[in-house]
Amino acid sequence: MLDVIKLLPDSVANQIAAGEVIQRPASAVKELMENALDAGATQIDLVVKDAGKALIMVLDNGCGMSETDARLCFERHATSKISKADDLFCIKTMGFRGEALASIAAIAQVELKTRRREDEVGTCIVNEGSLVKEQSLIPMAVGTTFTVKNLFFNVPARRNFLKSAQAEMRHIVEEFTRVTLMNPEIGFTLTSDGKEMYHLYPGTLKQRIMGLFGSNYEEKLLPVSQETDRVRINGFIVKAEYARKTRGEQYFFVNKRFIKHAYLHHAIENAYLEMIPKDSFPGYFLNIEVDPSDIDINIHPTKTEVNFLDVKLVYAILHAAVRKAIGQHNLSPMIDFEEPADLNLDFSEASKASRPVVFPNIPLDPSYNPFPQHRKSSPGDWRLLYGERTDTRTDMQTGTRAELLPDMMTDINKGVEHHDHPVGESHPVSQYLQVNQSFIVTTVKSGLLLVDQHLAHTRILFEKFLKELENKNGASQQELFPQAFSVNPNDASLLKEMLPELENLGFVLEQANPTTFMINGTPSDAAGCDAVELLERILDNYKINRTDLQLDRKLNLAKTMAAQIAVKPATKLTEMEMQNLVDQLFACNVAEVAPNGKKIYAIVTIDELLTKFN
């Protein structure tokens, strides 16, 4: 029997290794930029085309390489960072494995240009699929330029698994952010398809955060600084009132290396306990400096997982540092115990007394007929609840007949003398009552119908927005004064993806620059809503649900819009508004549950009422 075990060729071994190290264009960007940092560069420029699929170029003014090193750097496990096993436990550089450049060269066409300060000319090497195609001497400035073309050109299956250009670009921007954030003393630029997205000048950490995430972060940040014999923590946290619904701005670094650590993240969340809502997440930009011998980063090829020698100590110091920063800036809620606990005042009523109550988005036309003639009655139809007690009336405009709700079983105000009406004057009998300004109560054949006004209006708007998204006919209301909506580049990319659907809903957005949009119009149903806050909510919900394969983008948008615009609890409604709300609810395709799955209405039967009263 012949032997079956064979050594794989280096080219095949490199392609296998590349599957772990280089998963997408952003992985190559990370490795090349970290090499530039290790080279001592003070200016690093990143240029990409077609989200890195066609071109990735990293230029730096670092120390450069000799002609021999330039050739050797493409070999597997060739590195200048470590020389013996003990060096793995005192790593001070970003790279150390010696796999990145070999992996990139195995699956792309790579051109390396490099020159040391002591050399008169530089070296140019062209490597394609782990094979050196060309080597020559060229005139160039001190530093190194890596050009990666046609990533995965010889692994078409891997290339087919890449996402859209916008999705891959978001990953590149995220890696760019992680590398640049804790190196504010170095200048960086990012250019995509000929357009400069970032131009970051050397400065402080706060200036770097503002350069990456927007100038509005100047008022959002709180400094964190804590130093002990074994651990030193510095950076910034985001004020509690600016907590987000998504895990957006959360960055942990150990010795300026980005890491992911759920245990340390819990220390931050615990420090914000009872200061932010349960469904919100605090933002932070923190660097933990420890002795390199106290951590192990040789766990995963991406080097984002780290083991601490004493993680409980780091947890305690981190938690204390964040709590100290919050306490020093008086962010804790203040309680005045000298005030009486209950003044018996209804502040919601007092605040509304001076202005009329307007219920948005519900037609007030008395002739409104929520039941078109083509709609067939079904056992689940709410009108059957009334049985023989339903009355009819004739619409004077259209001649159609619409069913009316019955009178209440009892006028609770009967016999009560109202001071604003003369005695003996007849009063109209109310068919609808509002409980706690949140629930609508009316009678049906079997008992009482109770409707949650917020959930009911959410269901009505949800189905309305879905139709507008399908038919692309959403009505828009022009803004008298256009508002500026600034976001980070990742959110700007998401917003551009969503623009067609947003326009179908009635938004009119114009991109002023790569990270700022002008809001020129909003959906007519959103009258009175804060357009900027509404778009922020839409983005947050989209980011939360975009990984859920069962939730379509249109469903996500309609659900978010409806929840934000729907009439809120504790809003006083007129009888006409309540009637139209109930009519429109039971004209919906699904009247029983809201888009979030909660029950919209309940029926208290006569038997249940009799049981209550024995």
Note whether 245 and 175 are same-domain residues: no
- Cβ atoms of 237 and 209 within 8 Å: the answer is no
∠ CA(52), CA(58), CA(63), 5° rounding? 160
Note whether 39 and 103 are same-domain residues: yes
Residue 418 is assigned to a structural domain of this protein: no
Q: Which two tokens stand for residue 300?
A: 């995963």
Note whether 196 and 248 are same-domain residues: no
- In this prediction, residue 594 has a pLDDT band, given cuts at 50, 70 and 90, of confident
Note whether 579 and 442 are same-domain residues: yes
- Per-residue model confidence (pLDDT) at position 111: 95
Q: What is the pLDDT of residues 467-512, one digit of tens each?
A: 888 887 777 778 778 888 888 777 888 888 888 888 888 888 888 8
The whole domain housing 293 covers 210-328
Distance, CA of 288 to CA of 521 (rounded, Å): 45
Residue 333 is assigned to a structural domain of this protein: no
Note whether 151 and 77 are same-domain residues: yes
Note whether 111 and 134 are same-domain residues: yes
Residue 551 is assigned to a structural domain of this protein: yes
Number of structural domains the chain divides into: 3
Note whether 465 and 590 are same-domain residues: yes
Residue 342 is assigned to a structural domain of this protein: no
Residue 173 is assigned to a structural domain of this protein: yes
Q: Which of 177-191, 396-410, 442-456 shows the lowest per-residue confidence on average (mean pLDDT)?
A: 396-410
Neighbour-count burial of 2, counting CB atoms closer than 10 A to its CB (0-12 exposed, 13-18 middle, 19+ buried): exposed
Instruction: CATH number of the domain at 241, please.
Output: 3.30.230.10
Q: Which of 291-295, 340-344, 442-446 shows the lowest per-residue confidence on average (mean pLDDT)?
A: 340-344
Note whether 443 and 571 are same-domain residues: yes
- Per-residue model confidence (pLDDT) at position 95: 63
- Cβ atoms of 281 and 247 within 8 Å: the answer is yes
Residue 283 is assigned to a structural domain of this protein: yes
Residue 357 is assigned to a structural domain of this protein: no
- In this prediction, residue 409 has a pLDDT band, given cuts at 50, 70 and 90, of very low
DSSP codes of every residue in 336-375: -TTS-S-----HHHHHHTTS----TT----TT--SS-TTP
Note whether 462 and 315 are same-domain residues: no
Instruction: CATH number of the domain at 513, please.
Output: 3.30.1540.20
Cα separations (Å) of 477 from 196, 467, 527, 563?
A: 34, 18, 8, 19
Note whether 286 and 182 are same-domain residues: no
- Cβ atoms of 385 and 445 within 8 Å: the answer is yes
Q: Which of 1-10, 262-271, 371-380 shows the lowest per-residue confidence on average (mean pLDDT)?
A: 371-380
pTM for the complete prediction? 0.66
Note whether 395 and 493 are same-domain residues: yes
